[in-house]
A and B are shown apart, each in its own frame.
Chain A
Amino acid sequence: MMTKTAATVIFLRNEEMAAMLFAATQEVFTSMLGSEVKRLSEPEAEQLTSFDGVLSLVGLVGAVIGNGALVCSAEAACNLSSRLLMTEFSTVDEEVLDAVGEITNMIVGGFKNLLETHVGRVQMSIPSVIYGKSIATRNSGANVAAAVHCAFPGGEIALKIRLAARP
């Protein structure tokens, strides 16, 4: 039997979730990064290709389970960090990874706060940030996903939320 929470999550359309994710992204860019952010059109379907750059993940657990991810190039990661810390970064180092993790934390946190009004209490993990080449990701069992692709003056970022009903 489907639980009320699972039904609620499945009832939310991906576009509603994406709108919540973009609202949270806009708030972080406006308040903390002093920058505008524009939503770009989304690819038709998620592609399982690998990429070079930075992947930042925050886990979600509670009324639903899943994660929120931010993906960007090394250049975009340096630019985001420079804006957050008002210090120039040209290479990805520990400070840049920490800053990208915190930006992800704030965006996913903002999304989570909006999501909670629909599904109930959700808690977040601390962020994990990966920097490398040919990074490939796969999430099994997530039955609801939202993806937002954004541009800001320093580059582009992709944000993805994967959620599943709690088993």
Chain B
Amino acid sequence: MGLKPPNLLIVDDSTAIRKILLRVLSQTGLPLGQVLEAGDGKEALKMMEGHDVSLVLSDINMPNMDGIELLRTLRGSAQWHNMPVVMITTEGSQAKVQEAAALGATSYVRKPFSADLLRDKLASLLSK
């Protein structure tokens, strides 16, 4: 029996960005399981309780619980402390980049992004 395709979780308060990421993911050509969507960190954590997620793509600036807080919560949990998390954000300040890196973000993509570059980066992460 083959390996189960990975489930992914997109966390962004913008439905536009979630749609763009869904399109980019569908163009990677890699077998994917469910692609789940959450509008903020709190919603993401609830969603992760009920699904076997393999990779999280998260914005930073979001209402209720931002991406840094989500990352901190994941790293502090027994269940998800090794979860690959890609931060996709307009936030380019060194302080935020360093904060995300210190918390163990797997990768950091700044918006606006080129779909080609993002596709290659996601394909590389998903094929590992």
Contact = CB atoms under 8 A, between A and B. Distances in A.
Contact of A98 (B14, B92, B114): B14
A126 B23 contact: no
A28 B62 CA distance: 20
Interface residues of B, number: 20
Given A85-B20, A109-B111, A113-B93, A95 B61 contact: no
B90 A124 contact: yes
Interface string B1-35: 00000000000011111011001000000000000
A101 B113 CA distance: 16
A105 interface: yes
B13 A126 contact: yes
Contacts, number: 61
A95 B93 contact: no
A126 B63 contact: yes
A75 interface: no
Interface of A: 27-28, 30-32, 81, 84-86, 95, 98-99, 101-102, 105-106, 108-110, 112-113, 116, 121-122, 124, 126
26 contacts: A28-B112, A31-B112, A31-B114, A32-B20, A32-B111, A85-B20, A86-B23, A95-B15, A98-B15, A101-B14, A102-B14, A105-B14, A105-B90, A105-B111, A106-B111, A109-B90, A109-B91, A109-B92, A110-B90, A110-B92, A112-B90, A113-B90, A121-B95, A124-B91, A126-B13, A126-B62
